[in-house]
Structure 1
Amino acid sequence: MDLDKLISIRKHLHQNPELSHKEKETSRFLKNEIQKTSPADLISQQNGHGFLVKYKKDKSRPVIAFRTDIDALPIQEINTFDYKSRNQGVGHKCGHDGHATSMLGFAHELKDVLDAPVELIFQGAEETGEGADLWLKDTAMQGFNPDKVFAHHNLPGFPLHSIIVRNNVFSAASVGVSIKLKGKTSHAGHPERGISPALAVADLIKNIETLPKNYKYNDFTLTTVIHTLIGEIAFGTTPGYAEVRATLRSFDNDDLDTLCKYTEQHVQEVSQKYGLKTEVSYQEYFPATENDDQSVDIVREAAKNLDMEIIEPDEPFRWSEDFAHFTLKTTGALFGVGSGTDHPALHNPDYDYPDELLPTVIKMYKEIYRLSSSK
């Protein structure tokens, strides 16, 4: 497939973004395109919009898998080009349109290099941290068991076409925690007759924000309070209900568990101190993405063979990627591809995937596949 055709597909996906768990039309479009590559099999999720594409079934050879994400973000695009998002408040502000298009391009070139079995994973709901886990647990995917699995993410801030690799942890673990505090309302003139959660919220914000400083961990940890709510806007009423939401983040999965434990301890403390009923729940869980050394060596060798600049960061990225669920199941690696040092950042309203990366990613996938199938 020539570059102009790939770019038109990428722009179509950009113009028609869909949020996590709602990628129905995106999935339908991608399946129609992938069928043109004559795969041996195409398996759709039973509960979700992801699917698996298989080429060359051969049980005697190692199976190499590649994964891409297809969902968009709840961000209003401010770009004015003719292929800007048609869906109000939804945009491909992370480049999943480019990721999926690269996978299509790779699929079209497989016929020229196909030797060992290869499987292509199209996965939704990456942005909420749920998609990979749901994809792997789906009844239709129970036979999925590759020898290695690879994925990439475009990375603004790095030189265009550079390849970013890292052994061990590539990106952070994180989870969102929601805390509900229930007391009793009263007239604002008689706050003593109610049970206000206001001071408890103040305590919780301080306790959560200082968790990384007050306890011992294996590696980097970070806590960020991202939302609070106390009562209603009613000047005659003492609040009886509140919510605190925070993101807990670490480079170590055990540290993330520890942050959760200490958060729950502090919730219990404020519950007893202020006479409140409390409830703790978690959302958008991402394990740390841990790369296998041999798989990273393959990515590094592929970049070297293609004469691409290789960058190795000193520490993991603080953002999270649900590809971690795949590397928990089998060996593999996530790597980055530079989108340009001056390119708008991921999740910014003016971000747009650079089409110059499409052939770069396809070449990397082809070389990774060649090297992996010969190991």
Structure 2
Amino acid sequence: MRSKLMEMLESRKVEMIEIRRYLHENPELSFKEEKTAQYIIDFYKGKDVEVQSNVGNGYGIIVTIKGGKPGKNIGLRADFDALPIVEETDVPFKSKNEGVMHGCGHDGHTAYLLVLAGCLIQLKSEIAGTIKIIHQHAEEAPPGGAKSIVESGVLDGLDAIFGIHLFPIKPAGYIGYRSGYAMAGRTYFNLKIQGVGGHGSSPHLANDSIVAGAHFITAVQTVISRRLNPFEVGVITIGSFDGKGTFNVIKDSVELEGDVRYMTVETQQLIEKEVHRIVRGIEAEFGVSCELTYTADYPPLYNDPKITADVKASLESMNDPDIKEIFEGPMLSGSEDFAYYLEKIPGCFFYIGCSPKGVEKPYFNHHPKFDIDEDALLIAAKSVGQVVCNFSE
């Protein structure tokens, strides 16, 4: 099965590229991927598989491939939403939807997985176990699609789950992995501070919300510098301070928005506790009232150590000339809602190098000029196919 699958993938490389380019030209934002979802469903028409649509809180699609032999049940996931970005690349398949761009590689994720799934369907009689293909909507916009798909119960009974992400960290042919905590969790917060407005000449008759907000900005950074173990990773960012008013008027209210990143659940809990404590202290110290919205978007992504070691060993055994190196990468401070799958199902999320050829400093994901080396699509398909074969033995 392994050699058959690799030959089939090689023969369909052009198809992967064509699918990726079609999707790149026709991107859709999170929770609005109606046409993309229909394109995916149409791909499976006439194929001997079960297709479930509108899974979760949006356009999620689950395709079940039942193997001809008993074995493990595994899941393979690719996301298919785009970003609200005006594309600045100079490619003939540039986005036709102004202000929307596949600037993170999800077009490539979907393209490789469609072709891989098509090949696995053809080989289903030789597959041991069941494979669930997860075409996931809305990875980019919290609450995301993964959490709702997990909660739907459609993935209950899976023994392992796998996913990849295209990153221009290295050229095509380089595959990165990280055992244990691999990507950061993320929390959004919004703080509204209500004071008492007044004239700048009479501050004693007012209660300045800007001063209270400024104190919060300073105090909250001490959570990282003074409450967090220096060997742990945490970041608190204030991205917005809406306090514009008139130069001689004491503002009665302000609104702040921010972002918290952390690498472990323990750090997440500590930071949340301390932020709430600081807000209560500001209310007491400045006599203001505060309304705090604190929402954990995505948890830290945790790769099962045993399964990750198996993935590494499996990839290293491929002896494929297209694969140059399997390397252990650093923890990444970005977030990924694949973490919700890994909270319930042991698995591994790894990285496929895709830096465009001849580019010394490639643009990273989410940049208006982000692009990939399309050779990475075949690398992704073969590496995930290898993992499937390994777990089907």
| TM-score bin, normalised by smaller chain | over 0.9
Q: One-letter code of the match for 1:15?
A: E
Q: Which moves more between the two structures, 235-244 or 117-126?
A: 235-244
User: What's 1:121 paired with?
Assistant: 134
- Residues 86 and 238 (structure 1 numbering): CA distance in 2 closer, same or farther, change over 3 Å? farther
Q: One-letter code of the match for 1:373?
A: S
> What's the Cα RMSD here?
2.1
**Structure with the larger strand share:** 2
Q: Which moves more between the two structures, 30-39 or 11-20?
A: 30-39
Alpha-carbon offset, residue 36 of structure 1: 5.0
> Of residues 101, 113, 125 in structure 1, which corresponds to 2:111?
101
> Of residues 114, 129, 132 in structure 1, which corresponds to 2:146?
132
User: What's 2:5 paired with?
Assistant: none
Alpha-carbon offset, residue 29 of structure 1: 1.2
- Residues 191 and 29 (structure 1 numbering): CA distance in 2 closer, same or farther, change over 3 Å? farther
Q: Is residue 2:12 matched to residue 1:2?
A: yes
User: What's 2:242 paired with?
Assistant: 229
Question: Residues of 2 paired with 1:223 and 1:37: CA distance?
Answer: 48
User: What's 2:193 paired with?
Assistant: 181
5+ unaligned residues in a row in structure 1: which ranges?
A: none
How many residue pairs match? The answer is 370
Question: Residues of 2 paired with 1:37 and 1:67: CA distance?
Answer: 19
Q: One-letter code of the match for 1:297?
A: A
Aligned 8 A contact 1:65 1:119 in 2: yes
User: What's 2:180 paired with?
Assistant: 168
User: What's 1:79 paired with?
Assistant: 89
1:1-375 matches, cutoff 5 A = 2-35=12-45, 37-45=47-55, 47-56=57-66, 60-114=70-124, 115-116=127-128, 117-130=130-143, 131-138=145-152, 141-142=153-154, 144-217=156-229, 219-230=232-243, 232-235=244-247, 237-283=249-295, 285-307=297-319, 308=323, 309-313=325-329, 315-340=330-355, 342-374=361-393
Question: Residues of 2 paired with 1:144 and 1:35: CA distance?
Answer: 25
Q: One-letter code of the match for 1:228?
A: F
5+ unaligned residues in a row in structure 2: which ranges?
A: 1-10
Aligned 8 A contact 1:154 1:338 in 2: yes
Q: One-letter code of the match for 2:241?
A: T
Question: Residues of 1 paired with 2:96 and 2:296: CA distance?
Answer: 27
Question: Residues of 1 paired with 2:241 and 2:63: CA distance?
Answer: 43
Alpha-carbon offset, residue 108 of structure 1: 1.5
- Residues 215 and 254 (structure 1 numbering): CA distance in 2 closer, same or farther, change over 3 Å? same
Q: Which moves more between the two structures, 118-127 or 155-164?
A: 155-164
Could you list the per-position Cα deviations for residues 178-204 of structure 1 after superposition, in whole angstroms to 9, with x for gaps in the alignment? Answer: 111112333444444332211111111
Question: Residues of 2 paired with 1:59 and 1:358: CA distance?
Answer: 29
Question: Residues of 1 paired with 2:155 and 2:179: CA distance?
Answer: 28
- Residues 28 and 189 (structure 1 numbering): CA distance in 2 closer, same or farther, change over 3 Å? farther
Q: One-letter code of the match for 2:134?
A: I
TM-score between the two structures when normalised by the length of structure 1: 0.92
Aligned 8 A contact 1:11 1:83 in 2: yes
Percent of pairs identical after alignment? 26
Aligned 8 A contact 2:48 2:121 in 1: no
Question: Residues of 2 paired with 1:77 and 1:143: CA distance?
Answer: 35
Alpha-carbon offset, residue 151 of structure 1: 0.3
Please state whether the residue corresponding to 2:170 is helix, strand or coil: coil
- Residues 54 and 159 (structure 1 numbering): CA distance in 2 closer, same or farther, change over 3 Å? same
Question: Residues of 1 paired with 2:137 and 2:199: CA distance?
Answer: 48
Question: Residues of 1 paired with 2:309 and 2:282: CA distance?
Answer: 49
Could you list the per-position Cα deviations for residues 182-227 of structure 1 after superposition, in whole angstroms to 9, with x for gaps in the alignment? Answer: 1233344444433221111111111223321111337212222211
Could you list the per-position Cα deviations for residues 256-306 of structure 1 after superposition, in whole angstroms to 9, with x for gaps in the alignment? Answer: 111111111111111221121111113461111111122212321232123
Alpha-carbon offset, residue 173 of structure 1: 1.5
- Residues 186 and 27 (structure 1 numbering): CA distance in 2 closer, same or farther, change over 3 Å? same
Please state whether the residue corresponding to 2:291 is helix, strand or coil: strand
